[in-house]
Structure 1
Amino acid sequence: MSDPEPCRMKHAEDPEEQRDPMEVKEESEELSEVKEESEELSEVKEESEELSEVKEESEELSEVKEESEELSEVEEESEELSEVKEESEELSEVKEESEELSEVKEESEELSEVKEEHHVKPGEKPLSRSKTKKTLLNKRGVKKSFTCTQCGKSYTAKQSLQHHMRIHTGELFKCDQCGKSFTTKQRLKSHMRVHTGEKPFTCDQCGTSFAQKHHLTKHKRIHTGEKSHMCVQCGNSFTTKQSLVRHMRIHTGEKPFTCDQCGKTFFRTSHMMKHLTVHTKEKPHSCSVCGKSFSLLPYLHAHQKIHTDMREYVCFECGKSFTTANCLKQHQRIHTGEKPYKCSHCDKRFSRSKSLKTHERIHTGEKPYKCSHCDKRFSHSSHLKTHERIHTGEKPHMCVHCRTSFRHKSSLKLHMRVHTGRKTI
């Protein structure tokens, strides 16, 4: 008999040989499925990781967007702050100008007080400008503590000095239309109205508009009759400071305008312009009635009243009438005996300034009127006109009865007696 034990050992050592092939196939298929599921899980994991990355990027984009919105808000706040800053600067400039005006007003009031305290009595000399200012400073006890290191100019306010310093540093506000520069933005804004034509300040009485507020203030004095600028010498009042300055030249004797032809000086530019016609000989304004020419239009208008016999200015003393207010004023001195013009060379006095000037040429020997045809000179313009008729043959004085013409007015008057029958005495 064969031993069965070796067979059992053989079967124990190789159990695979005893498994069912179907089971093996099923296990293999299961393993394949597991492998496929594992691969799918790997893909899902990869997709999950990609989704995580996308999520992270999305979060980063959200953060960037939030930061961008914050930056926009900051920019808007910055712009608002800039606008507020500009408005603040403009308000500061307005405030500073207001303070300066207040200081000027206070100084003006205090100067008036000083002038009242030192009121000029007859025969006394008035306080000079420097003495008046010194008295005022002593009275106020105030010194200008902010001084420019460049030019030495002093200011009572620090901000005024800062604005002044822009002149030296060149940090000015420049007009883009004409290139003019200003120390403050407010002054540039005011200047720009010259170019834009804007006139925001309107008179509530007559509706006239102005570009500058101080022009409106001056204009309103026409309606109110206010004359705030008073002469300390004679007490006359004026609506503007410029009018007072011109008036003061009567007292000081100042004649700042000089003729470049003969060196003669004048109180006003208008007087000098009138005088210049003596040198130019230009007479563009002619009378349509008699043909007489004049250098200035007011002279022609005054002359034309001779033809119309318009004499609207009447003397209440004698009833005599005149064509101009100035002629009436000069005439009234006959009644009052007033002779305000005194010769600086002798004691002779005159009622008219023209008569004084003519008289003083006796002392000076001045003969400013030269004939354009010969070398002869004259001390009176009327003498020159009469003389030049010898050269031109002009005879402007015509008889209305027989049309005979004469060179001199006196010759016409003598001739008129032929027609009137009046005898010469």
Structure 2
Amino acid sequence: MRIHTEENLFTCSECGKGFTMKHNLNRHLKIHTGEKPFTCPQCGRRFTQQGQLKCHMRTHTGEKPFNCSQCGKGFTTKTNLKQHMSIHTGEKPFICPQCGKRFIFKQSLERHIRIHTGEKPFSCSECGMSFIEKQKLNIHMRNHTGEQPFICPQCGKSFTFKQSLERHMRIHTGEKPFTCSECGMSFIEKQKLNIHVRIHTGEKPFSCPQCGKSFRVNRSLKRHMSIHTGEKPFGCNQCAKRYTVKQHLENHMRIHTGEKPYTCSECGNSFMEQRQLISHMRIHTGEKPFTCPQCGKSFTQQGQLKCHMRIHTGEKPFTCTQCGKCFTVKSTLDSHMRIHTGEKPFSCFQCGKSFIQQGQLQIHMSVHTGDKPFICPYCMKSFPLKHGLERHMRIHTGEKPFSCSECGIRFIEKQKLNIHMRIHTGEKPFSCSECGKSFTVNRSLKRHVRIHTAEKPFTCNQCGKSFMEQGHLESHMGIHTGEKPFACSECGKSFTVNRNLRRHMSIHTEEKPFTCPQCGKSFTEHGQLKSHITIHTGEKSFACLECGKSFTVKQGLKRHLRIHIGEKNFTCSECGKRFMQQGHLQNHMRIHTGEKPFICSVCGKSFTMNITLERHMKIHTGEKPFTCSYCMMSFTVKQGLERHMRIHTEEKPFTCCECGKRFMQQGHLQIHKRFHTGEKPFICSECGKSFTVKQSLKIHMRIHTREKPSNRVEQSPLPPPVCISHPDDAKAVIAYPPAIGGE
């Protein structure tokens, strides 16, 4: 009832404050007595109330039982939750009468009022310094007590302020939250960002009073002032050399001690000075903070930028005394001078070969050591030369800086562009001495010569199979290792060889740069165009020695030969089924995975194979490009025409090995074989009866469904068949004439 009557029976004898309950008075009296009976067992901190200790313990346990219903954020005390909730509600009920500023809490307003009144009620007992807030006094007191309550969990280092610990933690986490808006470089502290920004703005606020020279940071000015005073207070006790800055002396001393305290965490290389390590680290990080204002090219070191700028200015300050040739950098002049002197100071200790430049020796040494120091961060492939890595990186980045002026196709390397240009010029400078055939590139000639010599120099160490080309061997090795290093950046699919990836990428890009001059059809690869051209020319250069069948491409003949020898090298890991071609295996695997990557742009239907999609598209276009020369009947696919042609030719290429019976279609042979094997794969779901062919199961199912068979003759929309014949052949065939009325 005292809450309602506001009756205060218990009064503090010290300050006169009243309380309704005695235990509230007892708690209050501890403020005057300074008594803190509740001690934290973790850190020893003391509290006047048990509730305060409970809240404090959550700092150690990490418990946050009070959760915000709006955003889910947790808090250790209910008061902190109430404070947080005002962020969502936007409520600020406490207003400053002086400036009108609003606050969420009364305590915040009281603190703010002290700015206007100048009141600083919290004084330091050691030095007398006063503060507006008690918290600031507590922080200040640590300067006198030496207390450092904030400890790094990684290395155990202690800090006076929480902010200092947060800054320190970024060394361990690698976090750099302050980023330069100009070059993207990041920093641990805002102060270091502010100093860095002066590189871009050109601001140099610290000026020398003697000569007027300006500096970005104060320590640079202090160092500079020693030039005017001549003061060099730091002397080397080994050689008596003196320095203006202590750091320079420390760096110098390492020459005598051989100490290299700065080690690269990536490659283990050590350095005498930190700046050398910083410059070196940019090789690994790829950071290039020094940018040319003329062309935008970036560099890892400022000295490199200075040398580069001479390209734009045309300045060449280093001149050869022998021939008058000028150079932008001294090191290039030194190398040039060896041409005149004949000096080759860099010798290989393995074979004794000498070189003018150290870089040439380093490149040469990789022949002996097999060292490939330049590693691709994407696929970990190694290269002996940096420009080899740079070339390779374009595969991952997709950069193609060299463009064809004729067709616009782009290339990673200039050499590849030069080779490509021969397609347009028709130049074929490499000729075979055996048959006179010409080629655009030398490697194609070398490959071709092996046809005459039958040489297969590349042998698989797993199965002993030999190949004419190393690329074929590398592709073949993927069968044994299962490695697929070439991944599509769009869908993540991987391939054993790069050309398969390039072929696959055309699905995403829809790029078809190779166009047939006869019919205008476009292709993703030059080889596909060459194969297509043979349709128009009728050329079939590759003949089977077994049956005489001819093919337009060699690959077609190779595939065909597997029919005769029965070779099936590609096995399904799921069901064990074997295939003659890898493409057939890949198509088959989609049955298990359910993948249908080829989608119709008209109706959205998906297919496992591209050829099935192409066949399906003809439903929408109505295209039937394959016409029978006997009866003029048209087909959407070539395979349909080939099957149909056997009606006219009476060819039956598929023979039963059991009884010798021949069939026009392979499917018919497979059905026939079931009569010998007794296989009946089509089973009735109602009664369990089995059938050799699917059609028999359909007829049987009518017994269960009581469906009556349709009268096909009565319901047929076709007119009566007539007999027609080809003008050049006596063989007749049944066909249907167009419907009356032109329908």
* TM-score with structure 1 setting the length: 0.50
Could you give the per-residue CA deviations for residues 316-359 of structure 1, whole angstroms, max 9, x where no partner exists?
Answer: 33332112222111012223333333445546543222122223
Which residue number corresponds to residue 355 of structure 2? Answer: 210
Unaligned runs of 5+ residues in structure 1 are 1-98, 103-107, 118-127, 138-152
Q: Tell me the equivalent position of 1:282.
A: 427
Instruction: Please tell me whether residue 312 in structure 1 is matched to residue 457 in structure 2.
Output: yes
Partner of 2:265 in structure 1? 113
The residue identity in structure 2 corresponding to 1:112 is C
Q: Which amino acid aligns with 1:223?
A: H
Superposed CA deviations along residues 227-277 of structure 1, whole A, max 9, x for unmatched, are 444445555543333333334444444444333333434333344344444
Letter in 2 for 1:313: F
Q: Are 2:266 and 2:284, in contact at CA under 8 Å, matched by a contact in 1?
A: no
- 388, 401, 404: which one aligns with 1:259: 404
Shift of 1:283: 2.5
1:172 and 2:317 correspond: yes
Conserved in 2, the CA contact under 8 Å of 1:200 and 1:210?
A: yes
Relative to 1, partners in 2 of residues 1:172 and 1:327: Cα closer, same or farther, differing over 3 Å? same
Q: Does 1:380 align with 2:525?
A: yes
In structure 2, the residue corresponding to 1:383 is in which secondary structure? helix
Quote the residue 1:200 is aligned against: 344
User: What is the deviation of 1:208?
Assistant: 3.0
**Structure 1 letter corresponding to 2:357:** Q
Cα distance in 1 for residues equivalent to 2:369 and 2:264: 22
- 3-state SS of 2:483 partner: coil
Do the aligned partners of residues 385 and 228 (structure 1) sit closer, same or farther apart at CA in structure 2, a change above 3 Å counting?
Answer: closer
Distance 1:245 1:178, change over 3 A: farther
The residue type paired with residue 319 of structure 1 is: G
Could you report, residue by residue, the CA deviation over 1:186-233 in whole angstroms, capped at 9, with x for unpaired residues? 643432445x48252343443433232332233233234444444455
Residues 307-346 of structure 1 mapped to structure 2, 5 A cutoff: 307-346=452-491
Mapping of residues 55-134 of structure 1, within 5 Å: 112-113=264-265, 132=285
Q: 1:381 to 1:264 in 2, by over 3 A?
A: same
Q: How does 1:33-72 map to 2 (within 5 A)?
A: none
1:110 to partner: Cα distance: 5.7
Q: Structure 1: how far apart are the matches of 2:499 and 2:380? A: 26
Question: Is the counterpart of residue 366 in structure 1 residue 522 in structure 2?
Answer: no
**2-side partners of 1:414 and 1:165: how far apart?**
60
Distance in 2 separating the partners of 1:115 and 1:312: 38
Residue pair 2:540, 2:551 contacting (<8 A) in 1 also: yes
Which amino acid in 1 is paired with 2:431? S
1:296, distance to aligned residue in structure 2 (A): 0.7
Call closer, same or farther: CA 1:228–1:301 in 2, change over 3 Å.
same
Distance 1:363 1:233 in 2: 22
Change (3 A) 1:321 1:259: same
Task: Go from structure 1 to structure 2 and tell me whether the alpha carbon gap of 1:369 and 1:238 turns closer, same or farther (over 3 Å shift).
Answer: closer
Is the alpha carbon distance of 1:161 and 1:240 closer, same or farther for their aligned partners in structure 2, counting shifts above 3 Å? closer
Q: Which has the larger radius of gyration?
A: 1
> How far does residue 170 in structure 1 lie from its aligned partner after superposition?
5.5
Q: Residues 233 and 186 of structure 1: is their aligned pair in 2 closer, same or farther, counting only changes over 3 Å?
A: closer
Matches of 2:286 and 2:558 in 1, distance apart?
Answer: 62
Aligned-partner SS, 1:245: helix
Name the stretch that deviates more: 283-292 or 385-394: 385-394
Find the aligned partners of 2:470 and 2:316 in 1 and give their Cα distance: 54
Q: Which residue of 2 aligns with 1:4?
A: none
Q: Which residue does 1:44 correspond to in 2?
A: none
Q: Which residue number in structure 2 is paired with residue 47 of structure 1? A: none
Structure 2 CA distance for aligned equivalents of residues 279 and 109 of structure 1: 59
Per-residue CA shift, 1:12-51, capped at 9, x if unaligned?
xxxxxxxxxxxxxxxxxxxxxxxxxxxxxxxxxxxxxxxx
1:188 corresponds to: 333
C-alpha deviation, 1:385, in angstroms:
1.6
Distance in 1 of aligned mates of 2:375 and 2:468: 31
RMSD: 5.2
Q: Please identify which structure carries the higher helix content.
A: 1
User: Which residue does 2:127 correspond to in 1?
Assistant: none
SS of equivalent to 2:405 = coil
Q: Aligned equivalents of 2:492 and 2:356: distance in 1?
A: 52
Q: 2:591 maps to which residue?
A: none
Q: Residues 24-82 of structure 1: CA distance to partner in whole angstroms, max 9, x if unpaired?
A: xxxxxxxxxxxxxxxxxxxxxxxxxxxxxxxxxxxxxxxxxxxxxxxxxxxxxxxxxxx
Query: What percentage of aligned pairs have identical amino acids?
Result: 43
Give 1:390-401 correspondences, 5 Å limit: 396-397=541-542
Residues 1:193 and 1:284: Cα distance change in structure 2 (over 3 Å): same
Note the C-alpha offset of 1:171. Answer: 7.6
Of residues 220, 238, 242, the one that matches 2:387 is 242
Counterpart CA distance in 2 for 1:332 and 1:185 is 49
Could you report, residue by residue, the CA deviation over 1:91-117 in whole angstroms, capped at 9, with x for unpaired residues? Answer: xxxxxxxx9xx9xxxxx9968326779
Query: TM-score of the superposition, structure 2-length normalised?
Result: 0.31
Q: Secondary structure at the match of 1:113?
A: coil
- Pair 233,369 (structure 1): closer, same or farther in 2 beyond 3 Å: closer
Q: Distance in 2 between matches of 1:282 and 1:399?
A: 32
Distance change >3 Å, CA 291–CA 412, structure 1 → 2: farther
Change over 3 Å in CA distance of 1:109–1:360 after alignment to 2: farther
Choose 229-238 or 401-410, whichever is displaced more. Answer: 401-410
Q: Is the 8 A contact 1:199 1:209 kept in 2?
A: no
Give the structure 2 partner of residue 296 of structure 1: 441
8 A Cα contact 1:278 1:369, kept in partner = no
- Asked if 1 retains the 8 angstrom alpha-carbon contact of 2:316 and 2:329, the reply is no
Q: CA deviation at 1:174?
A: 3.1
Is the CA contact 1:111–1:132 (under 8 Å) kept in the aligned structure 2? no
Show CA shifts across 1:123-150 (max 9, x none): xxxxx9699488x99xxxxxxxxxxxxx
Aligned residues: 287
Indicate the larger mover: 211-220 or 389-398: 389-398
**Separation in structure 1 between the aligned mates of residue 487 and residue 332 of structure 2, nearest angstrom:** 49
1:297 shift after superposition: 0.9
Aligned-partner Cα distance in 1 for 2:300–2:508: 50
Which letter does structure 2 place at the counterpart of 1:198? G
* 1:176, distance to aligned residue in structure 2 (A): 7.3
Aligned position for 1:37: none
Q: 1:396 to 1:284 in 2, by over 3 A?
A: farther
Counterpart CA distance in 2 for 1:240 and 1:329 is 22
How far is the alpha carbon of 1:373 from its aligned partner?
5.8
- Map Cα deviations across residues 383-415 of structure 1 (whole Å, 9 max, x no partner): 322344566676644688999987554887899
397-406 or 271-280, which deviates more: 397-406
Give, in whole Å, the separation in 2 of the partners of 1:316 and 1:154: 44
Cα distance in 1 for residues equivalent to 2:441 and 2:478? 27
